[in-house]
Amino acid sequence: MSKQTHILFVCLGNIVRSPLAEHMFQHLANEAGVGDRFSVDSAGTSAFHVGESPDSRMRRVAASNGLKYDGASRQVENDDFERFDMIIAMDGDNRRNLLLMAQKQNYEHKVHLMRAFDSQAIPTDPVPDPWYGGMDGFEKVYKIIERSCQGLLDALQSGELEV
**Is 11 one of the catalytic residues?**
yes
In the set 55, 59, 129, 147, the catalytic residue is 129
Count H helices, E strands: the chain? 5, 4
In the set 11, 74, 91, 95, the catalytic residue is 11
**Is 37 one of the catalytic residues?**
no
Could you give the CA distance from residue 136 to residue 61 in angstroms, rounded to a whole number? 10
Sheet of 5-11, strand order:
38-44, 5-11, 86-89, 111-113
112 backbone dihedrals φ, ψ, rounded to 5°? -130, 160
162: left (phi over 0), alpha (psi -120 to 50) or beta: beta
**Is 129 one of the catalytic residues?**
yes
Which residues, listed in sequence order, are joined to residue 87 by a DSSP beta bridge? 8, 111
The residues annotated with a catalytic role in the active site are 11, 17, 129
